[in-house]
Amino acid sequence: MEKKKLNIGLIGLGVIGSKIFEIITDLESHNYSKLINVKTIVVKDLSKKRNFIFNKTKISSNINDILDDEEIDLVVEVVGGESPAFDYISKCLKSGKDVVTANKEVMAKRGLELLAIAKNSSTQLRFEASVGGGIPIISSLKNDFSSNKIDGIRAIINGTTNYILTRMSNEGLSFREILNDAQKLGYAETDPTNDVEGFDSTYKLAILTNLAFGAKVEIKKIYREGITNIKNKEFKYANELGFSIKLISSVKKINNKLLLRVHPALIPIEIPMANVNSVLNMIEVHGNLTGPLWFQGAGAGPDTTSSALLNDIFRIMDGISKSEENKTKIFEEKFSLINMDYHNSKYYLRITIKDKAGVLARLSKILGDNGISIHTVLQKDTNIELKNAELVVMTHKAQEKIMLEAIKKIKKLEDLVTFDSLLRVEEY
């Protein structure tokens, strides 16, 4: 069956936009240009110099040049952010154009609205590129777990933070030092907040949660803790105890409610996720029939993101997207969200105390009074001049709420010099 050539509009011509334009118009292979024609590109700044030969492609700064063009079938949105992307995507859908996006923020915050608009307009909205780059996690959650009840998802889904944590661990340098270098090398943005404070991860986690559990997630209900406060000492001690440190994004079913959290965590070194380094991503999905499945690969970058965008375009071209919309729902459950109080884990804490008799006993008593028992204690870096010592404590499992109560009391211990670190330990 001969398929009609697809006319597409492209919104955004940054790193991703340029790459996808380059791939589609690759004159050497002609593989894509036989099928797809980039008719119009909308950019913010028309005056910006670009190293492209645009041939018949129109460059405009007016979104209406896409919206009003009835010949454009599909729009690729790669500007990112909530606004004006929401406006652009919704108008495209309403004007009968399918949309493919890499925008995690708009999908996390307003994806359900956009999907409803698509449904009402009989258009398709796809977003494989929004999580995990070329890792086909969106499509897998849509189709490959239909027969499963999903118990949870746990992931490393932010390349920048994983790059920074990997280098902190390998090189023993501080967060600031590695961040500066990462910025120079293009692995972190000038304003790195979105990545290093975990916002980007919360967006992706919200998208995965919606797909896996059908649950609407308000971003602010996700527990979020970034990596900016992790000290480089922690990597050394964690390693000694048999762990590596990763920024984990997790959703877990607990008594039919969902607990969502993004925070640095200790991961046992023998677990595959502990060894996912640099800019790699890994998503672990627990199905009741499949058991844990792991998807791993480069989670970002122009090539791999373009791969995901193009696959979405083909799914729309081939009508696969439309069939998926009409999918049989096997399990229809409603989930509400619970907060971090209900989290249960082992904890790693590091404190500096005055090096004298009885301090450890008082610390143990506080924990013990709260029902928390100690698994391991390491005494480190005794400073003879200051008469200080460092204690690294690994607890047995405790409930977050109770742990935080205990921490309050520990912070009031009279022999405490500084409370240095508190990290959670992932359970496997």
Residues carrying an active site annotation: 204
Closest CB 261 distance from its own copies, rounded Å: 23
- Which is closer to its own copies, CB of 209 or CB of 307? 307
Burial class (CB in 10 A: 0-12, 13-18, 19+), 334: exposed
Options 99, 247, 310, 407; binder of its own copies; rule CB under 8 A: 310
Distance from the Cα of residue 234 to its chain's centroid: 23
Options 139, 160, 352, 421; binder of its own copies; rule CB under 8 A: 139
Non-local CB neighbours of 194 within 8 Å, separated by 6+ positions: 200
- Which is closer to its own copies, CB of 81 or CB of 291? 291
Q: Which stretch binds its own copies (CB under 8 A): 141-149, 159-167, 259-267, 388-396?
A: 141-149
Q: How many residues bind to its own copies according to rule CB under 8 A? A: 54
- 2-21 residues in contact with its own copies (CB under 8 A) are 3
Report if residue 244 touches its own copies, rule: CB under 8 A.
Answer: no
Closest CB 333 distance from its own copies, rounded Å: 10
Closest CB 293 distance from its own copies, rounded Å: 4
Amino acid occupying residue 384:
I
Q: Which residue has the tokens 């996006």?
A: 101
- Which is closer to its own copies, CB of 15 or CB of 413? 15
Report if residue 148 touches its own copies, rule: CB under 8 A.
Answer: yes
Q: Which stretch binds its own copies (CB under 8 A): 10-18, 30-38, 45-53, 337-345?
A: 30-38
Options 17, 134, 152, 159; binder of its own copies; rule CB under 8 A: 134
Burial class (CB in 10 A: 0-12, 13-18, 19+), 367: buried
Report if residue 239 touches its own copies, rule: CB under 8 A.
Answer: no
Report if residue 292 touches its own copies, rule: CB under 8 A.
Answer: yes
Structure tokens at 122: 């009989």
DSSP codes of every residue in 223-279? EE--STT--HHHHHHHHHTTEEEEEEEEEEEETTEEEEEEEEEEEETTSGGGG--TT
Non-local CB neighbours of 57 within 8 Å, separated by 6+ positions: 21, 25, 38, 39, 40, 41
Report if residue 37 touches its own copies, rule: CB under 8 A.
Answer: no
Non-local CB neighbours of 161 within 8 Å, separated by 6+ positions: 195, 196, 198, 201, 226, 227, 247
- Which is closer to its own copies, CB of 58 or CB of 322? 322
- 315-374 residues in contact with its own copies (CB under 8 A) are 315, 317-320, 322-324, 326-328, 330-331
Report if residue 223 touches its own copies, rule: CB under 8 A.
Answer: no
Options 14, 96, 291, 368; binder of its own copies; rule CB under 8 A: 291
Furthest-apart CA atoms within the chain: distance in Å: 83
- Which is closer to its own copies, CB of 324 or CB of 420? 324
Report if residue 293 touches its own copies, rule: CB under 8 A.
Answer: yes
- Which is closer to its own copies, CB of 197 or CB of 324? 324
**Residue 91 in contact with residue 67, Cβ under 8 Å?**
yes
Q: Read off φ and ψ for residue 334, nearest 5 degrees.
A: -110, 135
Burial class (CB in 10 A: 0-12, 13-18, 19+), 131: buried
Which residues, listed in sequence order, are joined to residue 258 by a DSSP beta bridge? Answer: 253, 337
Q: Which residues bind its own copies (CB under 8 A)?
A: 1, 3, 23, 31-32, 35, 133-136, 139-140, 143-148, 270, 272, 275-276, 287-298, 303-304, 306-307, 310-311, 314-315, 317-320, 322-324, 326-328, 330-331
